[in-house]
Amino acid sequence: MMIHVEHLTRAYGPLKAVDDVSFAIEAGEIVGLLGHNGAGKTTIMKMLTGFLEPTEGTIRVDDLEMGADRRAIQAMIGYLPENCPVYPEMTVAGYLHYQATLHGVPPDRMGPLLRDALERTALVDKAAQTISTLSRGYRQRVGVAQAILHRPGILVLDEPTNGLDPTQIQHMRGLLRDLARESTLIISTHILQEVQAICDRVIIIQHGRKVLDARLDELNQGRRLLVHTEDRREALALLGDIEGVVAVEPVETGEDAATFALSATVPARQLAPVVAAAVIGWGWNLYGLYPEARTLEKVFSEINLTGGREQ
């Protein structure tokens, strides 16, 4: 299912919690909404699920539009809200049965779908237990179970690993990757490692605005080429004269060797063989040549330094 969000805005008087956000999500993608607490992630999710009306903008799922087709879109969505609301006096199985009924699951599919949700979230042993007796981590699992039990085409999960211990987090990450085989996943988090471990793509939200939308594999490729070669006085000038290179920056200097970062008008992988040929042609030793690793943590820091201007 293809999701289109165009110029999404939510205002509370003069305050814009979400300000002109647009993006599209392909079927089967795992997309992370990343940002500090209060950035606007939860507000976006509430609008995506039809629980909050936008002040401006449109949300479409395939040929359906939120508003006119809200009920039809909601039937396609599994939603885990931020605070995982559950009924503590109910048993796990009773609560999931209740949720399945609300989703309109027919009686003949009720049993198999409940068993599948319990097994996937490792709640089989807790099925008869009252929710109030569960730990926070197990309550979170119940929230995920209710989101997936009707086999939705879209899963919207707000902080899905909140309250889980390290072992439970690993299990949850594996479950989310498995769910992506049959659903489109939108995951909100403020934890960088969570996005890196689970998502294909990241959308960074800051002060209600989208400041970055990129695939993680593209981010990891980096923008500059690192050259580790001899430390020569003429290195900056010679490297700067290579066709396509627009800037050269010394990064690290060691004993008789140095690393230089080359910015270019072409991708780092395309520039690499040209630089290698030039360095070897000068008769210098070439110790290393590789694209600069641009981690999500570094990107996030850059965005904070630039004041959240869209990249």
Cα separation, 119 vs 100, in Å, equals 16
- For the whole model, what pTM was predicted? 0.78
Residue 127, token pair as written in the block = 């099925």
- Residue 184, pLDDT > 70, answer yes
Instruction: Give the torsion sign (CA, 74, 77, 82, 86).
Output: positive
- When pLDDT is cut at 50, 70 and 90, the band that residue 298 belongs to is confident
What's the pLDDT tens digit per position in 82-127?
878 889 999 999 999 999 999 999 999 999 999 999 999 999 999 9
Cα separation, 5 vs 19, in Å, equals 12
**Assigned CATH for 3-219:** 3.40.50.300
CATH level 3 topology of 223-292? Alpha-Beta Plaits (3.30.70)
DSSP characters over 209-263: EEEEEEEHHHHHH-SEEEEEEE--TTHHHHHHTSTTEEEEEEEEEETTEEEEEEE
pLDDT given at position 311: 45
Phi then psi for 103, rounded to 5 degrees? -80, -5
Q: Domains of the chain: which residue ranges?
A: 3-219, 223-292
